[in-house]
A and B are shown apart, each in its own frame.
Chain A
């Protein structure tokens, strides 16, 4: 008899737990990122993206790395 919003959050939380298992399966050493419950776990990925990921992709020119010139042979 939970209200719809609670059921939605519970479903998002279950989905988060499954996601954490998958994301953590890639950790090979103790410096690798770990994933788990945090303040966003009650949001579905779609809700999270809509609310918190507000930047658009952008194009920038390639950085002109300093040109390396060969040093001529000198005696």
Chain B
């Protein structure tokens, strides 16, 4: 493993978005991972429609909450093509699912996988390097007050309530950390990112880790 790695350095991660007053973090994390997976394959780094996932993923609850695993499962089973964000823009509230003709261009996923990496965060770092940014769920109650620095306390494993994306890690300092892409706008945390200590499954970051293939 390198001491430091960040997919942002490869220009394959979109800017942090703002979910506003919509509990759609599960959709933001999945869609941002798909955007990066496409870019890693050499396609343009486009913004895809989070609203489409919020409106159409019937096994979730839109802005009232959901699970990235259910969203990935739905995308995989239905082979729905995700539209560009400009075609189906985010409006921070639930809406009626819009359908598009098969001829319309869009992105569908090929597969996904999800594992519990607790106690194996070095293996998790290898997965990040090999496959791309990782969708994870965390206990983010204490993130309400976060300003910066490395999160090491005040959260638990096994009590996930928020979905985010890991884009990299840094083991060059005394406290190795994950770089966590959030969806609360770039004025929150470190330009929209949080740093979470690696090792120890802090905030349950390794409890359910998903990778998407396009």
Query: Which chain A residues have a beta carbon within 8 Å of chain B's beta carbons?
Result: 16, 19-20, 23, 26-27, 29-36, 38-41, 43, 45, 48-63, 65
Bound-state Cα–Cα, A31 to B148, Å: 9
Given contacts A32-B150, A39-B187, A63-B117, contact A51 B161 (CB under 8 A): no
- Footprint of A on B, CB under 8 Å? 19, 21-26, 29, 61, 63-70, 114-118, 120, 123-124, 127, 137, 140-142, 144-154, 158-163, 173-175, 184-185, 187-188, 195, 207-210
Contact A55 B146 (CB under 8 A): no
Q: Which residue of A lies closest to B67 (CB)?
A: A56
A38 to B158, CA, bound (A): 27
Q: Once the chains bind, are A32 and B152 in contact (CB under 8 Å)?
A: yes
A68 CB to closest chain B CB (Å) equals 13
Minimum distance in angstroms from A29 CB to a CB of chain B: 7
Q: With A33-B148, A58-B67 in contact, do A53 and B174 touch (Cβ < 8 Å)?
A: no
Tell me how far the C-beta of B106 lies from the nearest C-beta in chain A, rounded to whole angstroms.
Answer: 24
Contact call B116/A33, Cβ cutoff below 8 A: no
**Residue of chain A at shortest CB distance from B210:** A60
Expressed in whole angstroms, the minimum distance between the Cβ of B193 and any Cβ of chain A is 12
Known: A51-B23, A53-B141, A54-B66. 6 other contacts (CB 8 A): A26-B154, A32-B149, A33-B147, A53-B161, A54-B22, A56-B26
Chain A residues whose C-beta falls within 8 Å of the C-beta of B207 in the assembled complex: 60
**Are A52 and B19 in touch, CB under 8 angstroms?**
yes
CB of A46, distance to nearest CB on chain B (Å) = 10
Which of these, B24, B68, B124, B146, contacts A58 with CB under 8 Å?
B68
- State whether A36 and B147 are in contact (beta carbons under 8 Å apart), knowing that A49-B141, A51-B21, A54-B24 are contacts in the complex: yes
CB distance from A19 to the nearest CB of B (A): 6
